[in-house]
Structure 1
Amino acid sequence: MASRAIFKFLLLPLLLLIPGGHCDVTFHFTNQCPYTIWRAASTDMLDAEPELPPDVHTTYSMDDRWSGSIWARTQCSNNASFYFSCQSGDCGSGKLVCVSPQPAYPVTLINLDINNPVVSYEVSLVHGQNMRVRVQPNGGMLVDGSGPCPVVDCARDLKDVCPSFLVAANKDGRYVGCYSACDALKEAKYCCGDSGCQPDEFSKRNKELCNMAHTYPGDHNPPKYQCKGAESYDITFCPV
């Protein structure tokens, strides 16, 4: 069957943002989910077109200096008052274009720190999972010289192993994600800061499924990779 991929290209007016500068950091977003998603970010990335239908590929140029998180929102719609909301990853702003320091949990986060030409990246399940994701640098070498920049992902769905008390469901009772134990239970033994933090039984299980993702605040294995010289970065939602 012929591919029904739609290619969309978004070029930001970055010269207005960076006097005398330009942007070299390119991200390719691809939605391989069988449903539409809407991108969101914790720091403004001027994403004027966050909607990403199935089989759509968007090329996006990022600022030379940017730090924050990107995630996908699912099952979004406007109500009668045109308040935009989503059943997972919601921003709480009621707007299509989302900039929120804290999305509604559970949510899979892609954490980025761009300091061109170095890009640090990780996939985080610290606040649960609402989406399978993959980050793949195209070329580039790790700053420490240990090798090429690796793929980082969580390509497994936690749905089948998510205990009932961690399941996030929509108003119809349908599964939309799996909470972290801390966010769902709010008990001290599951919640910890980065320093001296140890995994719990649930973050250990998630690590077994997604060993390249960070599953609790003190998880530094693998490290947050620092990549230099990559031509671009592919971010895929629902990778196969």
Structure 2
Amino acid sequence: MANRTALTCEFLGTLLLVFCAVGAAVLAGEYIGTLGTALAFGLVLLALVSSFGAVSGCHVNPAVTLGMLCAGRLEPRTAVRYWAAQFAGGIAGAALLFVVASQVPGLKVKETFGSNGYGGRSAVGISVLGAFLAEVALTFLLVFVVLAVSRGRATLAGSAGLPVGMAFAVAQLVGGPLTGASMNPARSLGPALFAGGAALTQLWLFLAAPLVGGALAALAQRLTHPAPAAPMSLAEPEASAAAARTR
């Protein structure tokens, strides 16, 4: 039951992240601008961490899960299951968003659809190398903060939502004009599948670069916060949630 609960949280959390945060860009970007979109990403992640953090850790991001794995806080089998749930949630969230966006007359849902890009698909025309480095650096920031505030665990306490959400919002402000600020392979895959065209041909960068950033963050965190931690299995999140309820 604990296994199913944690995986359900990762699936639902990633679904809501894509639908609400990417949805802010697709459905309301014209009205709320870059700052509003960045706040939408940060605030929804804050809410999700507060809701699911004590249960699954609220990774909702394969790069975060890879960071936890490289930091020795997650068992490989658990990481693989988390990745499956996250990618499935990202696709489901994008599908739901596509259905909603298709009901808005005149809204362009092909080719862009909140997908990430470089070159001609970047607001500032950033090169492929620049896009790769930007995604690595921005994901590094996000995953490093997650690892730091989780204090050696693979789960996040409710109070961790604020710094994680703030880091995500800041990274969105910086990276939005550059690449659309992925930092999350599951967030990139879902919208790209529905955008099609160049979004799919450029997708490789937004799958690979965030994973590199997450792995580097884990290595750096071992140097700045050298505290050993036992790897978490899927049986542990429920125990963490029970402990949180008793505090």
Relative to the length of structure 1, the TM-score reads 0.27
Relative to its length, the structure with more strand (as a share) is 1
Which structure carries more relative contact order (alpha carbon 8 Å, separation 6+)? 2
The structure with the greater share of residues assigned to helix is 2
Structure 1 or 2, whichever has the larger Rg, is 1
TM-score, normalised relative to structure 2: 0.27
